[in-house]
Structure 1
Amino acid sequence: MLGEAARAAGYRLIVRDAVGSTMEEARRALDQGDPGSLWIVARSQSAGRGRHGRNWGSPPGNLYASLLLVQPCEPALAPQLGFVAGLALHDAAAKVTGLSAPRLALKWPNDLLIDRAKTAGLLLEGESRAGRFAVTIGMGINVASRPDDTPYPATFLKAEGAAASIEALLAALSDAWVARFNAWSLPGGFGPTRAAWLERAAFLGETITLRLAEGPLSGRFLGLDASGRLELDVAGARHLVDAGDLYFGLPG
């Protein structure tokens, strides 16, 4: 069930036992004219995916959700919703585990970490269909288990908080989304959102490696610029990066 604040704000929930992916279910709802503010949750996925089309393992016991938003903002601002979603996810995980920063941290651009081990991932996609601009935010959150075949450390919420459950997490996440989205929607709202995200950022000030389309780029993580691009100090020169995969060691 969604949280009380989410229900009061008009958000709706669909729960499926098994789907290909909640992202595809959201796209289907959009094609059918759904007005948005819709959470779609599945108990398992057979074709879950992450960034760049990567497979996302989806065993039962974890939370697989997509949030469909219709006309949430101007298309140029849509990437900022990834930071809003990250903060909501951090808030919800903190509530169900009792953890806080720096143990609970956000990795640019889309992951939640506990003690530098991946616990959740976000995927944000925007598209225009039939004259409507829509954003779908997919979330895969390790609640009861973690995958064993990842090239990076991974963990799950129950390992840190025995009371963590899909139900408690969804209620906390949906309410946290409402609060963070409303704050971001205020005039100048990305400034406080950016500041809050940086307070929870993993590897800030450390040397990181970004895997970009043109090849790896290493430097010191300085922060985010006013529009949300990652700032990297590379041999004394400031680089701005719109998108990429962040590694905190040399890329494998």
Structure 2
Amino acid sequence: MQVFKLKDILPSKVAGSFAGMPDFSACFQRSWREFRVFDLETCASSLDTAWELMDQGGMLAGDSVLCLEQTGGRGRMRRRWSSPRGNIYAALKLPVPDSTEMNRMLSIITGYSFQRALMARGIEVFLKWPNDLVVNSGKAGGILIEEKRGGILAGIGLNLKSLPDSRELRTGRLMDPVHLSGAWPEADPRTAWAELVYLGQFWYDNILCNYSLIDFISEVKPYLWLVNQMVRVEQDQIVLEGRLKGIDESGGIILDCAGHHKHIQTGTLLS
């Protein structure tokens, strides 16, 4: 394992391009210049490695684990996450929000923060509820929030150059995986991760420091995939159909089912 300061692997042109951004470190007592990246060639899971480091007192808010290859990655509902080399497989320790209501929105806030980081690259990205990053109607990445022992980690996977083996993909999936090699051809996992943490943490901190819950819900709505379109959602083996209206105050989605609004906190978006 190697340990880098984020500022040492962040491309200078990126830091220079956004040098005028406000610094919200006062909200969390730590500047991005102090963030560290624990870098591994191979690991079982970036999340598992991060939890081990946290148990040892070795990770602070803003620190992250980056594995160039995972042998036991996991996604939502503990589905296996195929992890070929060339992509980002990372776990980022998040500052704990002071607000309980914002804490319930962490998956959406984190997804939106990294979406905005990618948009700064000129990549059009949408959020698929509850935790996927969508590019060109395909899944480019996903985010998994884990909270325990007083800490919060965001597991983040992003397809930069390679795709999972098609034999490992879930049947009945809504979309196929895509990678970003066309939109971001020069990206390599280390420098791309540094850039995403730098910009993503800015948006994360900005939201928690300056946005009300209602403001954030309004902000994120235009970036939701399939918003204002008819969708189907599977919940507890029941399929509901309606028009996706947005996010509610608990991080669930609002579905307009023939004029009746249903609030769905857990489930799978089918179409």
Give TM class, smaller chain: 0.7 to 0.9
Moved more, 78-87 or 189-198: 189-198
Shift of 1:40: 0.5
SS in 1 for 2:251: coil
> Does residue 82 of structure 1 match 2:107?
yes
2:128 corresponds, among 107, 125, 132, to 107
Q: Is 2:153 the partner of 1:136?
A: yes
Match 2:254 to one of 231, 247, 252:
231
Task: State which drifts further: 211-220 or 38-47.
Answer: 211-220
Runs of 5+ in structure 2 lacking a partner?
16-22, 24-29
For 1:92 and 1:76, how far apart are their aligned partners in 2? 24
Alpha-carbon shift at residue 175 of structure 1 (Å): 1.4
Q: Greater CA deviation, 58-67 or 217-226?
A: 217-226
Say if 1:88 and 1:173, in contact at 8 Å, map to a contact too: no
Range 172-181 or range 232-241, more displaced: 172-181
Q: How many residues align?
A: 240
Q: In structure 1, give the amino acid aligned to 2:109.
A: V
2:86 aligns with 61
Question: Cα 1:72–1:62, aligned 2, differ >3 Å: closer, same or farther?
Answer: same
| Deviates most, 67-76 or 82-91 | 67-76
Paired residues of 1:84 and 1:177 also in contact (CA < 8 A): no
Partner of 1:220: 243
Q: Secondary structure at the match of 1:180?
A: helix
Structure 1 pair 26–79 and aligned structure 2 pair: CA distance change class (3 A): farther
TM-score normalised over the length of structure 1: 0.86
Q: Retained in 1: the 8 A contact 2:132–2:142?
A: yes
Unaligned runs of 5+ in 1: none
The share of aligned pairs that are identical, in percent, is: 26
Separation (CA, whole Å) in 1 of partners of 2:239 and 2:194 = 39
Bigger strand fraction: 1
2:264 is equivalent to residue 241 of structure 1: yes
Aligned residue among 37, 49, 52 for 1:25: 49
CA displacement at 1:138 relative to structure 2: 0.3
- Give the aligned partner of residue 155 of structure 1: 178
Q: TM-score, normalised by structure 2?
A: 0.80
> In the alignment, is the contact (CA less than 8 A) between 1:93 and 1:169 conserved in 2?
no
Q: Which amino acid aligns with 1:245?
A: T
